[in-house]
Amino acid sequence: MAARNRSEAIQMHVQESWLETPAIPVLQCGRPSCRPNLPSVQGHFHGPQPRSSHHPVYPRAASAQQLLVDSYAYGYFTKAMLVFKNPFWIEKGFCGLVQSFTGPASIIRDCSSPEDGGWVLTCFLCGDTGRKWSQQDDKTRTEVLLEQLGQLYSDKDRVRSEYVATVWHDWTAEQYSGFGCPCPSLPPGVLSAAGDVLREPFWNVHFSGPETSVEWKGFMEGAVRSGERVATEVSKQLVRTPV
């Protein structure tokens, strides 16, 4: 509830915004070839690093920075939120947190909203096991997850009788997250070769995002920390740059 109130407060204080207007490409010299033309003295790219590969910057970034952008990649990661009539797992004395090495769900968490009467177990499907699960139709995927929950809580009938619906969220189909979640990885050697430029601006473009955070990489806390860092960088630069 607190998180919801904060997000609503942010929306209310956002002033003019350009929605459904992706900034492609980012031109730091010459005349922009795209419309609308949104001139700025300093630019700020905030998002997962794999997403930045879909926002070409001209001229191209230095070789070390470009190596990072080109090398980041996600594994398979998606989630299915199973909604139930009642929190049967709590009635059985469990907290709802599960970690499985056999799957199909690798991690299961209680993401319920008691204030709204919404009882939800969120199943995270990861790696090869999750990818194999994703190749089935929606009905089969739900059946497999209900079967897993029934085994975990030793009550298959109760799980099925309490089941209401499944809400899907497939990050591999989400364009603006870079087609993945929660945190991309790098091949061996790339971080050693180019990790020191991860947070360096390129000309007037500053980079933030969960991967650029010193702490809490891949989490909302890390994204916020990196945004604060870049806001400070840009503010200092604007003081020195005549508009």
Mean pLDDT computed over every residue of the chain: 80
Q: Which CATH architecture has domain 77-175?
A: Alpha-Beta Complex (3.90)
pLDDT at 80: 95
Instruction: List residues forming the annotated binding site.
Output: 124, 211
Q: Which CATH architecture has domain 23-73+185-240?
A: 3-Layer(bba) Sandwich (3.50)
CA distances to 26, 36, 203, 208, 235 from 29, rounded to whole Å, are 9, 16, 10, 22, 21
| Token digits of residue 72 | 């980041």
Instruction: List residues forming the annotated binding site for substrate.
Output: 124
Looking at per-residue confidence, does 94 or 4 come out higher? Answer: 94
Instruction: List residues forming the annotated binding site for FAD.
Output: 211
Q: Is 240 helix (H, G, I), strand (E, B) or coil?
A: helix
* pLDDT (tens digit per residue) in 181-232: 777 888 999 989 988 888 888 777 888 888 888 888 878 898 899 989 988 9
Average pLDDT score over residue span 159-171: 92
Query: Could you tell me which of 172, 168, 106 has the C-alpha nearest to residue 138?
Result: 168
User: What pTM was estimated for this model as a whole?
Assistant: 0.69
2-11, 44-53, 163-172, 195-204: which range is least confident on average?
44-53
Strand partners, 123: 80, 108
Where in the chain are the domains? 23-73+185-240, 77-175
Looking at per-residue confidence, does 39 or 198 come out higher? Answer: 198
* pLDDT (tens digit per residue) in 125-162: 988 999 899 999 999 999 999 999 999 999 999 999 99
